Amino acid sequence: MKHTSTVGKSNKLVLVLLILGLTTIAFPLYLTIVIAFKQPSEMTNSISGILSLPKTWSLNNFREAMEVTNFWHSLRNSLLISVLTVVLSIAIHSLMGYALGRNKAHSKFYSFVYLFIVSGMFVPFAILMMPLAKQTAELGLANWFGVIILYVVFYMPMNIMLYSGYLVNIPMALEEAAKVDGASTWTTYWKIIFPIMGPMHATVAVITALAVWNDVMTPLIIMAGSGENTLPLAQLNFQSQFGTNYNLAFASYLLSLIPILIFYIFCQKQILNGVTNGAVK
């Protein structure tokens, strides 16, 4: 009895702390929403002015923002690139993470490959830009497909690190049991290891999807001149040095936030499902 009451107390404390912390998020979000509904003529530098509610709650900004960014078309491009990148990343990076994670402790070769790939994470993108622009064009990859390949390579170091980190806590005994049953390494991986890494897949999916969803630079330099836009590329239309329409821009950012938020909430469930399945022990 006593035990449960202390737990209840600490949980209430946690709840209070979380709600306090939430203000640091609620405030910017409130500003974003309010500005997205206002007209440029309602913008001021006074604090009461910026905090006030818009005069009318009209969806015009959203409508116009969708028009300017060619929303559905750009959304489709963004979705296509993000979904394919995430699927390929999970398949390729988890395999590579498995191969490297299981071997790097006892094999010089694998440990070198691991360090080699992980160090690729630290290459400043600016130095790769020009050569990549040239190389993708030479290979006929100056299109969305080239962008996906580049993403799969860019996020490989981080994801491999995540996967092989996760493998540390997955006991070898599981694989050995399967081996006794006569399954090949390949089958063992897909039948046993891959499903166990569920929470990690969800984590990788969230992190990769997020990075891809918001990225401007890669599509900018690779797809330049192809006439195709992703959402962040289309959103560049709202800013220029001499004038930025914040109201339209904020409306547009709110719109593009929704798909990724839904995806995140879905993945969160997967991260937790890993435990309830009791797979990791």
Partner 1 sequence: MKGKRLKCLGTALCCLAAALPLQGCGASSDKVEIEIVQYKPEAANYFKTVEDEFNASHDDIHLTISSPNDAMTILKTRFIREDYPDIIGIGGDINYSYFVDAEILADVSDYDGLNDINQGYRDIAEALELVPTEGTYIVPYVANAAGILYNRDMFAEHGWQIPETWDELTQLCDSIQAEGILPFYFGFKDTWTCLAPWNAMAVELSPSDTTKQVNRGETTFKDEYRELSEKYLQLLPYGPDDPFAYGYNDACTAFARGEAAMYPIGSYATPQILSVNPELNIDSFVMPASDAKEDRTLNSGIDLGFCVMAECQNKEAAYEVLDFLLEYENMQKYIDDQNAVPCKNGDFRLASMLDGMSEFIQSGNMTDYQDHYYPSEMSVDALLQTFLLEKDVDAFLGNFDTSWLRYNRDIIRLVQEYEKSH
Partner 2 sequence: MKNDRQRTFLLITLPILALFICFNTIPLIRGVIYSFTNFKGFGKYDWVGFRNYIDLFSDARVGKSYLFTIKLAVVSTVVVNVLSIALALCLNSKIRAKGFFRGAYFLPNILGSLVVGYIFNYFFTYILPAVADMAGISSLSTSILSSPSKAWIGVMIVCAWQAIAMNTIIYISGLQTVPEDVYEAGGLDGATGWKQFRYLTFPLIIPFFSINMVLCVKNFLMVFDQIMALTKGGPAQSTESISYLIYNNGMSGGQFGFQSANAVVFFIVIVLISVAQMKFSGSKEEQL
Please tell me whether residue 225 binds partner 1 under the rule CB under 8 A.
Answer: yes
Q: x/- binding map, residues 62-81, to partner 2, per CB under 8 A?
A: --------------------
Check: CB of residue 196 under 8 Å from CB of residue 163. no
Phi, psi for residue 239 in degrees, rounded to 5: -115, 140
Q: Which residues pair with 266 in a beta bridge?
A: none
120, two tokens: 């690729």
Please tell me whether residue 43 binds partner 1 under the rule CB under 8 A.
Answer: yes
Torsion of CA 162, 165, 167, 170, to 10 degrees: -120
CA 115 to each of CA 83, 118, 122, 123, 129: distance values in angstroms, whole numbers, following the listed order? 28, 5, 11, 13, 23
Please tell me whether residue 133 binds partner 1 under the rule CB under 8 A.
Answer: yes
Q: Which is nearer to partner 2, 81 or 158 (CB)?
A: 158
One of 96, 222, 223, 234 touching partner 2 (CB under 8 A): 96
One of 68, 80, 83, 113 touching partner 2 (CB under 8 A): 113
Residue (of 206, 214, 181, 234) closest to 65 by Cα position? 234
Residue 242: name its binding partner from partner 2, partner 1, none (Cβ under 5 to 8 Å by kind): partner 1
Residue (of 171, 164, 43) closest to 104 by Cα position? 164
Site for partner 1 in 59-118 (CB under 8 A): 76, 79-80, 83-84, 87
Name the minimum Å distance from CB 76 to partner 2. 19
Task: Quote the DSSP letter at residue 53.
Answer: P
Q: Which is nearer to partner 1, 33 or 79 (CB)?
A: 79
Name the minimum Å distance from CB 260 to partner 1. 17
Please tell me whether residue 221 binds partner 1 under the rule CB under 8 A.
Answer: yes
Question: In which residue are the tokens 């891809």 written?
Answer: 212
Please tell me whether residue 40 binds partner 1 under the rule CB under 8 A.
Answer: yes
Coil, strand, or helix at residue 237? Answer: helix
Q: Which is nearer to partner 1, 160 or 221 (CB)?
A: 221
Check: CB of residue 201 under 8 Å from CB of residue 94. yes
Question: How many CB atoms are located within 10 Å of the residue 139 CB?
Answer: 10
Name the minimum Å distance from CB 56 to partner 1. 17
Please tell me whether residue 39 binds partner 2 under the rule CB under 8 A.
Answer: no
Phi, psi for residue 231 in degrees, rounded to 5: -60, -50
Site for partner 1 in 168-197 (CB under 8 A): 195
Footprint on this chain of partner 1 (rule: CB under 8 A):
40-41, 43-45, 76, 79-80, 83-84, 87, 129-130, 133-134, 137, 142-144, 195, 220-221, 224-228, 236-237, 239-246
